[in-house]
Chains A and B, each alone.
Chain A
Amino acid sequence: MFSNFDFSVITTSLPYLFGQGMVFTVTLTALAASMGVVLGTLLAMMRLSGLPGLKHFAKVYVELMRSLPLVLVIFWFYFLVPYIGAWVTGAPNPIQVGAFSSALITFTLFEAAYFSEIMRAGIQSISKGQTGAANALGMTYWQTMANVILPQAFRNMLPLLLTQTIVLFQDTSLVYVLSLTDFLGAASKVAQRDGRLVEMYLFAAVVYFAVCFTASFLVRRLQRRVAIIR
């Protein structure tokens, strides 16, 4: 079958694949990762706080998200977010949420659970003595977190956070089930339109591999550089 491998279908669709598909994938990954890390850090702080209500909420949230398949969560939020929006804003009817925003909310909320586990380990990796020292200096909880604990936790966990972001980059391909045009969605639309499955899916695999392999390689180099010597 390789004899009639048609490269032209790839070259002619490059502007569409990258201009639309990859832009969607990268934007979604970048936004969901940054928002997910913020939310994940808050969840980790809730879980490590002594307040029973917050602690349990964070625990249940994280455990629930981690026990569900992402595909199911994508379906859930795609249909649920407009109702939540109506409930939050008090509107009588479900509010309109675009496909991209919906995907962004889904991935942020889902990945936050995974980021929170990383940040929890990061916060716990900082010795208790530092919190004690900050308290002794008269710093409040938020000052201690913002100036002492979190900067170090981020630094220690940066490689893990970035590795999780690479996983997120791969996971965004699942928006395929909603017919959104991410990189894989774009490739499969061309594949189905022109009946060129072999070419398009192999090409998609090569591109994902190249991006993820390079990124993981860079993360490993970074890991060696940022490690705090103790």
Chain B
Amino acid sequence: MNYNWNWSIFLEPSPEGTGTYADMLLSGLSWTIATALSSWIIAFFLGSFVGVLRTLPSPGAQRIGTAYVELFRNVPLLVQMFLWYFVLPEVLPASVGAWLKQLPNAPFYTAVVCLGFFTASRVAEQVRAGIQSLPRGQRMAGTAMGLTVAQTYRYVLLPNAYRIILPPLTSEFLNNLKNTSVALTIGLLELTARARSMQEFSFQVFEAFTAATILYVLINLVVITAASFLERGVAVPGTR
């Protein structure tokens, strides 16, 4: 293979003048993590809300929940990214649009909101499945004890549902983390984008991508380990 390997490239200064190529990748890693965590907060709360809507007795609430999930699941993430970044500021009143565009770190905020709304539709499906998998008796018991619908969800249904769906939620969390790379199309300097810039500046394609690959695998391992600790920590004693 006529490819010139050069693994010491990581210690060479990057043309950006702020450090070595290794520093460049690590800064990308921190943006990836920051974006993943911030968008997960939106996804978790919004997704839980939408998921609950789909299990409420009210047909109107169910319909809104279903519409949300269908809308965000049936449009590719990349298209949604463009809609938030390029289209939204143009359809808003000119002054608001201009303010949005001038925001420092606009790609970061856009990516967080876009991923948050996108992943929320997937979290909602898990939450709904979790709640529906609970025996009907739990809801009835809540009602019989005089709890309101909100109280039944808060104290009976959701705590049980979250424990059941912890494994699929972990994989949604990981999907969300991987999806942050799509934001490189709107200029977010996350890990994949940094690996690509490193390749462009140094021409060492495979070293740059190998490093990014290893970093992604490591984050995955950390998340999976953390999730299994969490699973053990929150398990209701005696349930298994």
Contacts and interface: CB of A to CB of B under 8 A. Distances in A.
Nearest to B88: A198
A177 interface: yes
Interface stretch (B18-26, B43-51, B57-65, B72-80): B72-80
Interface in A57-89: 64, 67-72, 75-76, 79-80, 83, 86-87
Given A72-B213, A216-B74, A198 B87 contact: yes
A205 B87 CA distance: 11
Interface in B26-58: none
B181 interface: yes
Contacts of A23: none
Contacts of B179: 69
Contact of B192 (A1, A69, A94, A188): A69
Contact of A176 (B70, B185, B212, B217): B185
A137 to B, nearest CB: 38
A145 interface: no
A87 B1 CA distance: 7
Contacts of A134: none
Contacts of B205: 79
Nearest to B180: A69
Given A201-B82, A212-B75, A72 B87 contact: no
B114 interface: no
Interface string A198-224: 100110110011001100100000000
Contacts of A198: 86-87, 90-91
A197 B101 CA distance: 15
Given A68-B178, A209-B71, A197 B206 contact: no
A12 interface: no
B78 A173 contact: yes
Contact of A64 (B70, B76, B178, B217): B217
A189 B196 CA distance: 22
Nearest to A191: B86
Instruction: State the majority secondary structure of interface residues on A.
Output: helix
A171 B76 contact: yes
Nearest to B82: A201
A71 B174 CA distance: 15
Contacts of B92: 1
Contacts of A71: 181-182, 184, 192
Nearest to A86: B1
Contact of B3 (A64, A83, A201): A83
20 contacts: A1-B91, A67-B220, A68-B178, A68-B216, A69-B216, A72-B212, A75-B195, A76-B213, A93-B2, A170-B77, A173-B76, A173-B78, A173-B79, A174-B182, A184-B78, A197-B86, A197-B87, A205-B83, A209-B74, A216-B74
Given A1-B92, A87-B1, 13 more contacts: A64-B217, A68-B217, A69-B182, A76-B213, A83-B1, A174-B182, A177-B184, A201-B87, A202-B83, A208-B75, A208-B76, A209-B71, A216-B70
Interface of B: 1-3, 70-71, 73-80, 82-83, 86-87, 90-92, 174, 178-182, 184-185, 192, 195-196, 199, 205-206, 209, 212-213, 216-217, 220
Interface of A: 1-2, 64, 67-72, 75-76, 79-80, 83, 86-87, 92-94, 170-171, 173-174, 176-177, 184, 188, 197-198, 201-202, 204-205, 208-209, 212-213, 216
